[in-house]
Amino acid sequence: MIFDQAVGNTFQMTFKPETIPEQSVTLIFIVTGAIFYALLVGLLSSAAVAYDASGR
């Protein structure tokens, strides 16, 4: 159930792109969002490691 909610929030089940341009734009936005999310996680983890560089 929680997995279904997460997928539903990520990919809305009510919006089903039917034409090729709609599918292309949807795919571009999904990939762009995934890239930005990966950048955010990478930058935050890098900042956390750099903050504790001395190991204390």
12 inside domain? no
33 inside domain? yes
Confidence class of residue 55 from pLDDT cuts 50, 70 and 90? Answer: low
**End-to-end CA gap in the chain:** 41
26 touches 17 (CB < 8 A): yes
2 inside domain? no
30 inside domain? yes
The pLDDT of residue 56 is 60
The pLDDT of residue 50 is 86
Residue 56 belongs to domain spanning? 17-56
29 inside domain? yes
How many domains would you assign to the chain?
1
Output the pTM of the full model: 0.64
How does pLDDT run across 14-52, given as a tens digit for each residue? 778 889 999 899 889 989 999 999 999 999 999 988 887
53 inside domain? yes
* Angstrom distance (rounded) from CA 18 to CA 26: 11
More confident position, 2 or 19 = 19
